[in-house]
Structure 1
Amino acid sequence: MVLDVLVYTIARILLVAVLAAAIYFGGKALGIGEFPIVIPMLFAIVLALPLGIWLFAPLRNRATASIAVFDERRRQDREQLRSRLHGDNPRK
């Protein structure tokens, strides 16, 4: 689970970095001399939100599936612990 979520997170961060660099150097190429890096970063974040959802759908689906498996396993362990604490026969 951790690896899937980490890959998805890194992909989203790299998308923001690539978009920020493209916007920054695109502004420089257009002749904008005073161009603070904060402006391209903000535009990159705004553009990366919908773009990342579309581009990284397979990564997001894999991360979501692995989180669901982890949550189900945790839920079953919690139910088993509760049944043992109540003195019931544990389900296996």
Structure 2
Amino acid sequence: MTEEDAPRPLPDSAGSEPVSLPALIAAVAAYIGARLILVAIITGAILGGGALLGQTVPVIVAAAFGVLIALPLGLLLFKSLRIKVNSRIVAYDDERARRRDELQRRLRKPGS
């Protein structure tokens, strides 16, 4: 593989860092982690609220309500993370398509 054949990372939407698979995975992991932490916080608040009121709330019920409440709330709270993930996915997909097209072009080139 020559230097010109090597994959070149694309800048993300802000143009500050290259879009590579590890950067994409890190962005997705940060978004998922933030959403899971939000579910844990809401679940803890439900359990704590039940304890303050002298009621025993089953953990599975608190977790179910935590997920239901966190779904729309996470969309609002983590909009910037979601946009970052989406832009990195698009940039990474565009780079993959560019490399695939380049490979197809080289495979069709006569006399290679």
Is the structural similarity TM-score above 0.5? yes
Aligned residue in 2 for 1:85: 107
RMSD: 1.1
1:9 aligns with 2:22: no
Aligned residue in 2 for 1:24: 47
Aligned residue in 1 for 2:79: 57
Query: For residues 26 and 52 of structure 2, what CA distance do their matches in structure 1 show?
Result: 38
Cα drift, residue 42 of structure 1: 0.1
Residue correspondences, number: 87
Cα drift, residue 20 of structure 1: 0.3
The one-letter amino acid of 2:76's match is W
Cα drift, residue 56 of structure 1: 0.3
Query: For residues 41 and 29 of structure 1, what CA distance do their matches in structure 2 show?
Result: 18
Gap runs ≥5 in structure 2: 1-23
Query: For residues 86 and 68 of structure 2, what CA distance do their matches in structure 1 show?
Result: 23
TM-score, reference length from structure 1 = 0.89
TM-score, reference length from structure 2 = 0.74
Query: For residues 28 and 60 of structure 1, what CA distance do their matches in structure 2 show?
Result: 34
Cα drift, residue 3 of structure 1: 1.2
Gap runs ≥5 in structure 1: none
- Structure 1's consecutive aligned runs of 4 or more residues displaced over 6 angstroms after TM superposition are none
Identity of aligned residues (%): 36
